[in-house]
Structures are given as structure tokens and as C-alpha cells.
Amino acid sequence: MNTKEYHIKIYSISRFLIAIILIQVVIVIFLSDYISSIENRILSMITILGTFATSTFLSALIGQAKVKIVFTKEALLHIWEKRFLLSREKDVSIPWQIVENYVLEEDRTWDSFIINLSTKSRYKISRLNILPIKDDFDKLVKDFPRLSSKFKNDIESDNDTSLNLIEEGKSKYETKSFKQSFYVLLISFLILCIFKIVDLGSLTSLWSLGVIGSAIGYYWMMIKTKGSK
């Protein structure tokens, strides 16, 4: 096996966020009067959800690009098949000799596969996991440990040298700083719950408590899962 290819739809988090903010601002400017005039609460909620879904979909298209990831004997190649909007990024070649470790960073909205390099830089591709996207991202993540080690071993054999093993790196969920941030979020959530219980509900809402609570539940699960490895 000389090469292995993966076709992946990647996302720019910054482009996505900027696009969704701008689209939401436009929606508020042009549709706020119409939405506020809807007397049926169910219809009003459906309209709000519809505009949010539409802005999310459009932002996903704006923040999306397509790449071909190729494993070769000498390097990992990142070849653009469709660049980001108004982008001129060049193709990337990463020699196996400088690859140190890899990590999959899973989040509620984004999954990012990161390859850390001995040059103190990193290669990162991200996908939006709230939409049903068909590509080779999962296959790349699954195959990378085996194929990267194989190609690096081939280089060692050809050059009679010894290189560091490519191993799984440390996830952000295992870091002290992330756990400290999590506990700050948890304490803030408990304080808001107390305010709600003692009828200071104007400071928060059940909806916001639900959002924060779901985030705490997710990150607690990730801390326990990643920390148990």
C-alpha cells in the first residue's frame, strides 16, 4: 500500500460563527416585527426555530470546505478540493518525521482532529457534528494510528534511523485548566439554581438553566471518559 486517500468536509469555526451572527442580525432587523406580531405561541416558536435552522444551514455552507487527505510513504498531504469562501490557503505536506502525537477533541457542536508536530505547531481539521454529513472523517480518525505508525516505521527501515512513536496525545478534558473552568461553570449553575428557587427568577430562565445544565452534563461525561483512559 503506497497511498491512502480520505475525502473530508471541514469547517472553519470562526467563519461559521461570524456567518451565523450576521445572518441572525439580518433576520432580527427584517423579521422581528413579523415574529412579534404572531399571536399563536406555537406558530411563533416554529417560526423562530425555522429561522435558526435556516441560519445554521447557511452558515454551515459558508464555513465549509472540502479537502483530500492523502497518506504517502513520505508525508501526510492536505489537498484542497474546495477552499473556504474568499480563501487562498495552499496545500500542506507534513513529513512523518515531525509528527509527534494526535488527539480527537469532541465537543457538543464540533469534532476536531489534531496532529501535534515537533515544530511546536499543529495540524487541525474540524467538522460540524450537528448536521448529518457523509464523508471520511470518522474513517480517517480510526485509521490514523495504524497507518501513521506504519509509514513512520517504513521510514525508519529505509533510513536505518529511530523515530519517536506516534501516540495519542492529551485531550483538553484531561487538563487542569479545563477542569478548573468546569468547576467554575458548575458553581455558577448552582448559584443560578438557588436564585431561581428563592424566586429571583428574573435573573435567569428555565431555558438558560437547561442549556447550562446540559453543557455541564456533557462536559462532566467527557472529563470522566477521557480521564479514565
- Binned at pLDDT 50, 70 and 90, residue 204 comes out as low
Q: Are 139 and 212 contained in the same domain?
A: no
Residue range(s) defining the domain that contains residue 133: 4-10+65-169
* Grid cell locating 40: 399563536
Residue that terminates a domain, selected from 169, 200, 218: 169
**CA–CA dist 193, 196 (Å, integer):** 5
Q: Are 49 and 94 contained in the same domain?
A: no
Q: Are 164 and 70 contained in the same domain?
A: yes
The model's pLDDT over 18-29, given as tens digits with 9 standing for 90+, comes to 998 998 888 878
Residue that terminates a domain, selected from 62, 80, 98: 62
pLDDT at 91 over 80: yes
Which amino acid does the sequence have at 17? Answer: L
What sign results for the dihedral spanned by CA atoms 17, 23, 29, 35?
A: negative
Record the pTM: 0.76
- How many structural domains is the chain composed of? 3
Q: Are 69 and 137 contained in the same domain?
A: yes
The model's pLDDT over 96-144, given as tens digits with 9 standing for 90+, comes to 989 999 999 988 888 999 999 999 999 999 998 877 888 999 999 999 9
Q: Are 116 and 45 contained in the same domain?
A: no
Q: Are 205 and 145 contained in the same domain?
A: no
DSSP at 174: G
**CA–CA dist 176, 167 (Å, integer):** 21
Length of the chain: 229
Q: Are 74 and 162 contained in the same domain?
A: yes
**CA–CA dist 219, 211 (Å, integer):** 12
Find the Cα–Cα–Cα–Cα dihedral 11, 12, 18, 23, rounded to 10°: -20
